[in-house]
Chain A
Amino acid sequence: ETGVTQTPRHLVMGMTNKKSLKCEQHLGHNAMYWYKQSAKKPLELMFVYSLEERVENNSVPSRFSPECPNSSHLFLHLHTLQPEDSALYLCASSQDTSRNIQYFGAGTRLSVL
C-alpha cells in the first residue's frame, strides 16, 4: 500500500461518454500528478498540482480536464476520448513540487472503444 488510492481500477468507455478518474492520497502531501502510461513508452507527465493550483499542463488535449478540490484529492474528467487515449493512467503525489520522490497509485486501466 503506497498511500495513494485510485478508482476505478478498470474503465471501459465509448468515445461519446463522460467519465471521471479519482485519486486520493493519505500521505499529507501537497503536490499531486497525473501520468499517462502507454505500452513500451515512457511515462508521460500530464498535469501537476501544488496546493490545489495547477502548475503544469503538458500540452494535454482539452478532452482531459483535471480537478484538484483539495490537496488530498485529484480527479481527471474525461469526455469525447479517442481510442488512442486507451492507456494506464497513474496518479502520484509528493511532499511538494521541490521534492523529487513521488509515490504512485496502482492506476486506472482505461479502454476507449
Chain B
Amino acid sequence: GENVEQHPSTLSVQEGDSAVIKCTYSDSASNYFPWYKQELGKGPQLIIDIRSNVGEKKDQRIAVTLNKTAKHFSLHITETQPEDSAVYFCAASKADSSYKLIFGSGTRLLVRP
C-alpha cells in the first residue's frame, strides 16, 4: 500500500526566513497531495493541495511543488511569521480511493520572533 515519508520532524526558523517541508510517496498511482496545518488544540486544516497534472501551486506565502518522477512533493512557506508555528502534515491519495488520505508523520514548525 501507499506509504508517505515526511521530513524533517521538527523545524525551527527565524521570523522572515523560509521553511521547506518535504514528503515522498511510494505509490505512483497517487494523484492528489494536500497539506494540512494543525494548531494547538485544533484539528488539521487544509492549507493547500496539488493534483498530479500540475507541477507547482502558489497561494500567497505558501507554495507546493510536485515531482512525479521522483515521487516527492514539498511545502514552501516564505516570509514566515510566528502564527505559522504549527504541525504540518502532508498526505497522498489515489483516484480509485480518493477519500483514503495516507498521511505523513508531521513536521513541527517553530517560527522564532
Interface residues of A (CB under 8 A from B): 2, 4, 6, 31, 33, 40-43, 45, 48, 56, 90, 92, 94, 97-107
Report yes or no: A99 in contact with B98, Cβ–Cβ below 8 A.
yes
Contact B45 A2 (CB under 8 A): yes
**Contacts A42-B105, A43-B44, A106-B41; A100 near B99 (Cβ below 8 A):** yes
Which residues of B sit under 8 angstroms from A101, Cβ to Cβ? Answer: 34, 46, 49
What number of B residues sit within 8 Å (CB to CB) of A? Answer: 23
Q: How many Å lie between the Cα of A104 and that of B32 in the bound state?
A: 18
Q: Could you tell me if B32 and A100 are in contact, using CB atoms closer than 8 angstroms?
A: yes
**10 closest A-B pairs (Cβ-Cβ)?**
A104-B43, A42-B103, A97-B99, A43-B103, A100-B32, A100-B98, A106-B43, A104-B44, A42-B105, A105-B43
Give the A-B contact count at a CB cut-off of 8 A.
59
| Closest chain A residue, CB of each to CB of B4 | A42
A56 to B97 CA separation, bound complex (whole angstroms): 11
